Structure 1
Amino acid sequence: MEFKKNSLTVATPFYYGWVIVFLAALGYFFSGPGQTYSISIFIDQYIGQFGWERSLVSLMYSLATICAGFVLFLIGRCIDKYKHRRMSIIIAILLGIACIWSSFVINPVMLFIGFFMLRLFGQGSMSLLSSTLVPQWFIKRRAFALSLMSLGMVTSAAVVPIINNFTIELWGWRVTWRVWAILLWVIYLPVAYIFLRNKPEDIGLLPDNLKTDVSTEENRSQEDTMEISWTLNEAVKTRSFWLMLFNIAVPSMISTGIVFHFYSIIGENGLDRTVATLVLSTMAMVSFPVTFLAGYIVDKIKVQYVMVAMFIIELVGIIILINSRHIAIVLLFGITSGLVKGLNGVCVNYVWANYYGRKHLGSIKGASMTIGVIGSAFGPLPFGFAFDYFKGYKEILIVMMVFALLGIISALSAPKPIKKYK
């Protein structure tokens, strides 16, 4: 297979969509600097150096995340308009600038701006780009392709905390932020510029590598019979859209709150930072094979039922965390969290394309990620205030259990919508 695009000739003996899956996974990996599992490593550094209260840092993080969430839906519209390749280049440059900015933080205002840029361009935009790119290339094999793509996030969650810990101890937290900017610009940026393509039609292909030796009308008819696309305005009129938004916001809120304060939670339970880092890595190692399995499961079982199982596991995990006073128990929590992360990573990327098609996926996924990011914003803040008020985390963890129960009910009530034509 050979094609020419932007004066670049690329030849592959296989469907180019698998190259796109790798690039999307790489994009997910480099969303790491803006993810909570990365930023959480810096929290104690800020508190220790500047003497800020934990609730203040949590407030800055939550406000910045909320603001980023409200802007994120615009990124989705830009992806639909300007396409993935151009936006990937722009976002990678901006995320690198966000890392450089974060290395110069000296006051809460700078901290807020740094958090805002990291969450918008890292956790939000880089993830949105990857999760909306792969569905453009696959329909029938979408769940499997998304599970492979999600390995980028799993790898990031496993590797980034270790890199951060190592570089912070070796060079300090300011240099660590600059290292991430360099890695983004030296590795991801040129690879995306050279190899990324927006959709298979741009290079004379069809999703899932369907045959192209038929007429244009036949191709269009073949694609339309496989998948029905909804506009954002049509999607928001369905009950399942809002219930699935809740199903995405709740895990984001719970996991972000726990991971953001994880080193403190573990410390309150009498365990040290080394154990916390080990547990975070365990989460990633467990979610690695689960991500593969999730792609197979979602192909066989309705995604709403997979989400029900995910919420049940999350509920069990919180109970374990409340009672974790020994390394073996807290590692068990890491295993349950890894299961949740693996299932959730595939479900949240699969559900929107499966429910509403790929034509307007950027706008629909952008709106959903806005809610997801806002949900993540409401995680750290209540944990921080709970710690300052109750001098511990048990009470807020019990509240999170209630939300997990609501998630079970919501998932059961959100089947795939049926589009009615007038």
Structure 2
Amino acid sequence: MTYLDFLRRHGAMASFGYSMALMSSFGQTFFISLSGPDIRAAFGLGNAAFGSLYSAATLASGVTMIWAGGVLDRVSVRVYATAALAGLATAALSLSLAGNIVMLGLSLFMLRVFGQGMLGHAAITSAARLPSGVRGRAVGLATLGFPTGEAILPGIALAVIASLGWTVAWKMAASVLALALAAVLWLRPDGEAPASSPAGRAEPDATAPTRLSILRDRAFLAFLPSIVAPPAIMTGYLFYQRHLAETKGWPLELMAASLTGYALASVGCGVLMGFAVDRFGGLRMSRLHLAGLFASSLMLAFVTGPFAALAFFALTGATAGANNVVVPAVLAELYGTRHLGMVRALCLSVAVVASAATPILFGFAIDAGVTVESIGIACAVYLAGASALNWLLPGLRR
């Protein structure tokens, strides 16, 4: 199928996934952190107190998604996205009106579970349920919504915060989400089928997996290190990017350009990986999708010089884009699409916990005197081992 034929037949569903990924930006860390200093000032919180509150909200949302993600297997994606958009709009409005710490914490939890959790989950899973011959391209297009939000929303939000205040910015976010909710209620994604219908099924769905059976499955356990690696390691690198820059001698003025390179590499590699998955399959491409992060970890260990920052972040971004496509494709090939919501939600919860842990682990290592070079070597070894395990996946397939 040519790309034009793909857009004619499945473009509406891919566009729906893209839109939901874009709207999930209002519950992502990059957007919430833009008003972080104002929130801390308004509630008299220090960095540690606000960070702890945010981490608690994120972990709680990850645990909630174990259940909430599975709901997508029992309802249509339209119903699921409607609930997520309504919840996220309510959360944005609640944050703008919060008058105490309890309401602040509850608002942050709702932003994370409805935004990063449910909307992001709906975006990827709806695209991943399409047939195997087009699944990679559909997921690749849907995931472009994430970097689109990262590219356009910070500038708009900072301008609104500077001129009108942070509470107005969140009220405007609630208004945008309300408009998106109205659009979803009015339109129906083309090709949508409830997971329980025949159209929502795919090949190995004869036996319905349970969460416990998945956690015991050898294929899942072999793929788990690859699921954990990108969110955990990239969160650690990005969280301590200032420390990396100071240690490696990277000029801070190059960091903005490096992060732009990260976003561009994520977009480009996500699209290319979509084509590769459709041609070769997710199981085969899982052997290669960690290569960018492996190379950037080796660069951290052995390469110096100011312009190494550009290559480091570009290679890291390449794995970020590839990971968004490969992981749902592999899960669909291993477990089918009928229960993909529950399977992916379980993986998402594990990834959230891992991404919350690495800033702490990296922090203890740095405080103990471990060099960034040693951290890079340790991460490269882990990534090599995770990639090696993926060669076993075809033989362990259910």
Find out whether 1:23 has 2:16 as its counterpart. yes
The residue type paired with residue 22 of structure 1 is S
Kindly indicate whether the alpha-carbon contact (under 8 Å) linking 2:21 and 2:143 is maintained by their aligned counterparts in 1.
yes
Change (3 A) 1:408 1:16: closer
Find out whether 1:372 has 2:384 as its counterpart. no
Note the C-alpha offset of 1:268: 7.2
The within-5 A match list for 1:357-396 is 357-383=336-362
Give the Cα separation in 2 of the matches to 1:184 and 1:265. 36
Kindly indicate whether the alpha-carbon contact (under 8 Å) linking 2:27 and 2:111 is maintained by their aligned counterparts in 1.
yes
1:290 to 265, 269, 275: 269
Find out whether 1:149 has 2:142 as its counterpart. yes
Change (3 A) 1:173 1:407: farther
The residue type paired with residue 348 of structure 1 is V
Change (3 A) 1:41 1:362: same
> 2:324 corresponds to which residue?
345
Change (3 A) 1:267 1:418: closer
> 2:95 corresponds to which residue?
102
Give the Cα separation in 2 of the matches to 1:139 and 1:183. 34
2:260 to 277, 281, 286: 281
The range that moved more, 91-100 or 130-139, is: 130-139
1:118 to 98, 104, 111: 111
Q: Secondary structure at the match of 2:393?
A: coil
Kindly indicate whether the alpha-carbon contact (under 8 Å) linking 1:137 and 1:200 is maintained by their aligned counterparts in 2.
no
The within-5 A match list for 1:294-373 is 294-320=273-299, 328-373=307-352
> 1:80 corresponds to which residue?
73
Give the Cα separation in 2 of the matches to 1:125 and 1:114. 15
Deviations 1:321-350 (A, max 9, x none): 578986633222221122111111111221
Find out whether 1:245 has 2:224 as its counterpart. yes
**TM-score scaled by length of structure 1:** 0.78
Q: Percent identity?
A: 25
> 1:217 corresponds to which residue?
none
Note the C-alpha offset of 1:57: 3.8
**TM-score scaled by length of structure 2:** 0.82
Kindly indicate whether the alpha-carbon contact (under 8 Å) linking 1:84 and 1:198 is maintained by their aligned counterparts in 2.
no
The within-5 A match list for 1:201-212 is none
> 1:4 corresponds to which residue?
none
Note the C-alpha offset of 1:300: 3.4
Deviations 1:90-109 (A, max 9, x none): 11111122223334567765
CA-atom RMSD in angstroms: 3.6
> 2:56 corresponds to which residue?
63
Change (3 A) 1:270 1:181: farther
Give the Cα separation in 2 of the matches to 1:30 and 1:250. 26
Find out whether 1:232 has 2:225 as its counterpart. no
Change (3 A) 1:102 1:200: closer
Note the C-alpha offset of 1:235: 4.1
Find out whether 1:192 has 2:184 as its counterpart. yes
The residue type paired with residue 415 of structure 1 is P
Change (3 A) 1:128 1:99: same
> 1:414 corresponds to which residue?
393
Find out whether 1:180 has 2:204 as its counterpart. no
Q: Secondary structure at the match of 1:232?
A: coil
Note the C-alpha offset of 1:258: 3.1
The range that moved more, 128-137 or 32-41, is: 32-41
> 2:4 corresponds to which residue?
none
Note the C-alpha offset of 1:269: 6.5
The residue type paired with residue 228 of structure 1 is P
Deviations 1:116-146 (A, max 9, x none): 2222111111111112212334332111211
The residue type paired with residue 192 of structure 1 is V
Give the Cα separation in 2 of the matches to 1:415 and 1:22. 31
Change (3 A) 1:376 1:303: same
Q: Secondary structure at the match of 1:228?
A: coil
Note the C-alpha offset of 1:403: 3.8
In the alignment, structure 2 segments of 5+ residues that lack a partner are 1-6
Kindly indicate whether the alpha-carbon contact (under 8 Å) linking 2:228 and 2:351 is maintained by their aligned counterparts in 1.
yes
The residue type paired with residue 203 of structure 2 is E
Q: Secondary structure at the match of 2:346?
A: helix
Deviations 1:299-330 (A, max 9, x none): 33453453343323213223445789866332
Note the C-alpha offset of 1:273: 7.2
Q: Secondary structure at the match of 2:133?
A: coil
In the alignment, structure 1 segments of 5+ residues that lack a partner are 1-13, 208-222
The within-5 A match list for 1:213-224 is none
Deviations 1:21-40 (A, max 9, x none): 10111001111122233334
Q: Secondary structure at the match of 2:129?
A: helix
Deviations 1:190-249 (A, max 9, x none): 2211223485557xx996xxxxxxxxxxxxxxx98x722252225444211123233212
Change (3 A) 1:191 1:133: same
